[in-house]
Chain A
Amino acid sequence: MSKSDIAFVRREMLPEKAPPATAAGPIKWVRDNLFPGPINTVMTLLAIYFIYQIVSGAMPWFLNGVWTTSSLAECREVLQGATGGCFSVLTERWNQLLFGFQYPSEQYWRPTLAFVLLFVAVAPVLFVALPRKLLIFTGLYPFIAFWLIWGGTLLVPLVALIGLIVGYVVFLRFETKGFATAALTGVVAVVLVWWLGGFVSAAASETLALTPVPSRDMGGFMLNMILGTVCVSLSLPFGILLALGRQSDMPIIKWICVIFIEFIRGVPLITLLFVANVVLAYFLPPGSNFDLILRVIIMITMFASAYIAEVIRGGLAALPRGQYEAADSLGLDYAQSMRLIILPQALKISIPGIVNVSVGLFKDTTLVSVISMFDLVGMIRGPILAATEWNGVYWELWGFAVVLFFVVCYGISQYSQWLERQLQRDHR
């Protein structure tokens, strides 16, 4: 080989070119994905045949559906043996499915309004692009929602809110004297305000009062929503604290967290709910009226936060040590480095896991039907299917429950995937 054969000098860098036309477009997609070869073509045709069978079988059931009768017998009469769903059970029992059978019907606007406001309250948390001032409403929302759903005087949630604000102010005042002192005086202040406020709201129980609705009258999908929202939003902060506690250098804190997590994870949720329902009453002073929904919320929150703590621990472990060291080397203290550096990254890694737990938790709220609370599943299983009018309407009712839960859970899942894309920080 002569020397001139291998010598090469590039005088000009090559410009970028568009890919050839055959490497893109819908026709290419169809050919690549549906009909790339004889076996795959057969599979595609088979799949199309199955889809046709399912759709053609189910379509008449939907299209012939009866929406206006008031019992199963009437519905069968209308159908006269033809295939068709008795969807009239949904229209006739609509309010029971959503609100349970004891919530006063003239007050349905209250939970409905609370439900609509929930979206306003959650929006600024979910979408960073929205103005930050909306977060004030998010902070107020729990108190407004409580007042709307449970009714009674506005003073009760107001006192609760004021108590928390006073406690926070006191905490800030004493913060220089050390975290423990500040936290303790803060808690004392909160309890004091609540105790004093209790007299005020008891004395003026008619001020700005809505008709009170007791917890045992809550039911239907509303109950699932209440339990789901409250428990998810409480279990996330508790889960974070547990995860950080488990990493703590202080043995007492570490072991409390480890024992809590391992114990709660080792116990079925249903047993915890039975404990909430029955056993807890033995430990409370006689005559004390500890709200059943509150007990259930505590149990589900404990359960979910143990799982979330483990998910977040995975995120924390996935961060390179260098991130901790860089934060330390800049002089950030523990709280700052956790809040500004470690948690934002660890939580981002943990999003799929957190969503997984949240979706599971939301569906697990149907377990309360076992301790004779009438959530959506409890309503279908109990009052509706037991009624003589609708005994035997399974497909329509359970299908409806499936659709409701699917819509919410799929929504959560889609949001989380969108959020992950938003938080993507490299150039890919």
Chain B
Amino acid sequence: MTEQPAALQISDEIAISIENMNKWYGAFHVLRDIDLTVYRGERIVIAGPSGSGKSTLIRCINALEEHQQGKIIVDGTLLSSDLKNIDRIRSEVGMVFQHFNLFPHLTILENCTLAPIWVRKIPKREAEDIAMHFLEKVKIPEQADKYPGQLSGGQQQRVAIARSLCMRPRIMLFDEPTSALDPEMIKEVLDTMVALAEEGMTMLCVTHEMGFARQVANRVIFMDQGQIVEQNEPEEFFNNPQSDRTKLFLSQILGH
């Protein structure tokens, strides 16, 4: 592995451990025998063709989808059907969606303070300070009093990232965060994510942005038909893919 700055060091502590996980939609087997261990500080990019189960995989991690077999342990907590457990894991795991999913009836600031106030029981004033801190970090503090509908897609996605960060999550999940954006706006969102990675956040990111994967990831996972087909360090993954399916995918995605 190439030399990493201190903040990017990966610890031995396990953040997420998935063992032999299987999931079905009715009779359709979407995730098959997934085994994955994520160490704290790791930045993992999950790639693969559409329908390969990559979004479903990360949605299982914060129980937006339930799995039918196997174990998922997030931050030391076993994911079960116990609602208290699920709510706790969700408050520790931030999630950024393809379509932002900001709350359109609340201002940007309210979007960011809502969960800290109601879930973490932080006083309103303090929650607003935290929110402004993270809005500055994603470089849109001046939009705090606007509504999501008044912002561009890129700005909305940065707000969504700030909203997750306000909960002080230990793990961040990104579900195709740039897929719904204009090319001009992709960069501003990716820059935000790079900055986040440089601070040592544990990240799982489903994306087609291979440049981002090369720059930030320490591991790239390639999925197809609900299985992990190949995983490697980005350098090796892109320059020396092993399986034919990966080679085909890379030739198509990098071909133009």
Residues of A within 8 A of B (CB): 320, 322-323, 325-333, 336, 340-341, 344-345, 348, 423, 425-427
Contact = CB atoms under 8 A, between A and B. Distances in A.
B207 interface: no
A299 B83 CA distance: 37
Interface stretch (B7-15, B112-120, B233-241): B112-120
B104 A425 contact: yes
Interface of B: 62, 64, 83, 87-88, 90-95, 97, 99, 101-105, 114-115, 118-119, 147-150, 163-164, 167
A426 B150 contact: yes
A331 B85 CA distance: 10
A311 to B, nearest CB: 18
Contacts of A322: 97, 99, 101
Nearest to B96: A329
A331 B95 CA distance: 11
Contacts of A320: 99, 101
B114 A328 contact: no
A330 B113 CA distance: 11
A427 B150 CA distance: 6
Contact of A423 (B92, B94, B105, B118): B105
A331 B105 contact: no
A331 B115 contact: yes
B149 A427 contact: yes
A329 B104 contact: no
Nearest to B151: A427
A333 B84 CA distance: 9
Given A330-B91, A331-B87, A345 B119 contact: no
A340 B114 contact: yes
12 contacts: A325-B97, A325-B101, A326-B97, A327-B103, A331-B88, A332-B87, A332-B118, A336-B118, A425-B104, A425-B149, A426-B149, A426-B150
Given A340-B118, A426-B147, A331 B104 contact: no
B83 A345 contact: no
B62 A329 contact: yes
Nearest to A335: B118
Given A326-B97, A425-B147, A332 B104 contact: no
Contacts of A336: 118-119
Contacts of B148: 425
